[in-house]
Amino acid sequence: MNLTAARNALRSASRVAVLTGAGVSAESGIPTFRDAQTGHWARFRPEDLASPDAYERDPEMVWAWYAGRYQDVLRAQPNAAHHLLTQLEQRKRAGFFLATQNVDGLHHRAGSGTHGGQLVELHGNLISGRDEVTGEIFPLPAPEVLATPPSSPRGHRMRPNVVWFGEFLPEAALTAAQDAFATADVALVIGTSGAVYPAAGLALETLQRGGTVIEVNPTESDLSAYMTFAVRDVATRGLAALLEQEA
């Protein structure tokens, strides 16, 4: 399948489902999960900081790491790939669905989920905390006034609102994503290694029902062998190429 055919498939699709991973945010300067282990944190594995056991042992240390990542994502800005996906949503409206594995909130800041489509954050986000007693989610205070561990408006301690190793994805978000990919005419898989399940299996839902799946990634991923078409480029340029004739 050539680029023209991929563009045509995307343009004619009534229902488009998108899965994004760390590669979408890399061009905004957001380090990948493992690349965030620098400086003082280089002596820790991510698994030592992002698990229920780690949090139970030392919530102050875990929150110190997440507070630094929280500052990083607030300093970052959405890049062209985030904005191009918002433009695609404006064209597809209710036929657009975006599931992201990223926890930086950049899709939301770029406007995704506000033009008739739907945005779900499969792994949560770094800009909010979850009340440990009620399960309610609240935005975090600004970094300069954030006291860790933070308390919710209910007076309870909050944990980072992210999915840790050993935890399940939010059921409602995962179910919505599975339904969207199962009924999509075209699925876009952008900037993800395809190694983390169940998110990596979403594109296969589209394929199994006869849909087209397009990968945008500079290198081959674990999913590449199953793709209908692959654009071998970074997210900003790859999406620009696909949407060139969408205007």
User: Catalytic positions, please?
Assistant: 123
Instruction: Please calculate the CA angle 95-98-103 and round it to the nearest 5 degrees.
Output: 165
The helix (run of H) or strand (run of E) holding residue 95 is none
Cα Rg of the chain (Å, integer): 18
Q: How many CB atoms lie within 10 A of CB 150?
A: 16
Distances (CA, A) of 121 to 14, 41, 52, 180, 195: 23, 25, 20, 14, 17
Closest C-alpha to 137, from 147, 150, 148? 150
Separation between Cα atoms, residue 198 and residue 25, nearest integer Å: 21
The three-class DSSP label of residue 106 is helix
